[in-house]
Amino acid sequence: MKGMITPMTTVTNSRTFTIGLVMAWYSSNIGVLLLNKYLLSNYGFQYPIFLTMCHMTACSLLSYVAIAWMRVVPMQSVKYGAQLGNIVILSIVFCGSVVSGNVSLRYLPVSFNQAIGATTPFFTAVFAYFMTVKMESWIVYLTLVPVVTGVVIASGGEPSFNMFGFIMCISATAARAFKSVLQGILLSSEGEKLNSMNLLLYMAPIAVLLLLPVTLYMEQNVIGITLALAREDKKIIWYLLFNSVLAYVVNLTNFLVTKHTSALTLQVLGNAKGAVAVVVSIMIFKNPVSVTGMLGYLLTVIGVVLYSEAKKRNK
Give the model confidence (pLDDT) of 52-83 as tens digits.
Answer: 999 999 999 999 999 999 998 999 988 777 88
- Spatial contact of 250 and 32, defined as CB atoms under 8 Å apart: yes
* pTM tops 0.95, yes or no: no
Query: Among 75-79, 250-254, 271-275, whose mean pLDDT is lowest?
Result: 271-275
pLDDT at 307 exceeding the cut of 90: no
- pLDDT at site 10: 57
- pLDDT at site 102: 95
Confidence of residue 12 (pLDDT cuts 50, 70, 90): low
State in Å, rounded, how far the first CA of the chain is from the last one: 47
- pLDDT at site 314: 74
Q: Where are the domains of the chain?
A: 28-314
pLDDT at 271 exceeding the cut of 80: no
Task: For the chain, give the number of residues.
Answer: 315
Q: Which long-range contacts (CB under 8 A, 24 or more apart) does 231-236 make?
A: 236/43, 236/45
- pLDDT at site 267: 67
120-136 mean pLDDT: 86
More confident residue, 191 or 297: 297
- pLDDT at site 1: 46
- pLDDT at site 15: 80
167-176 mean pLDDT: 95
More confident residue, 25 or 189: 25
DSSP 262: -
| Angle made by CA atoms 312, 313, 314, in degrees to the nearest 5 | 90
pLDDT at 11 exceeding the cut of 60: no
Query: Among 28-42, 95-109, 182-196, whose mean pLDDT is lowest?
Result: 182-196
- Spatial contact of 109 and 160, defined as CB atoms under 8 Å apart: yes
pLDDT at 14 exceeding the cut of 80: no
Confidence of residue 108 (pLDDT cuts 50, 70, 90): very high
The percentage of residues in the chain with a pLDDT greater than 70, rounded to a whole number, is 93
pLDDT at 159 exceeding the cut of 70: yes
pLDDT at 134 exceeding the cut of 80: no
What angle separates helix 235-260 from helix 48-64, to the nearest 10 degrees?
50
- Spatial contact of 41 and 287, defined as CB atoms under 8 Å apart: no
The percentage of residues in the chain with a pLDDT greater than 90, rounded to a whole number, is 54
Give the model confidence (pLDDT) of 137-156 as tens digits.
Answer: 889 899 999 999 999 999 98
Helix (H, G, I), strand (E, B) or coil at 80: coil
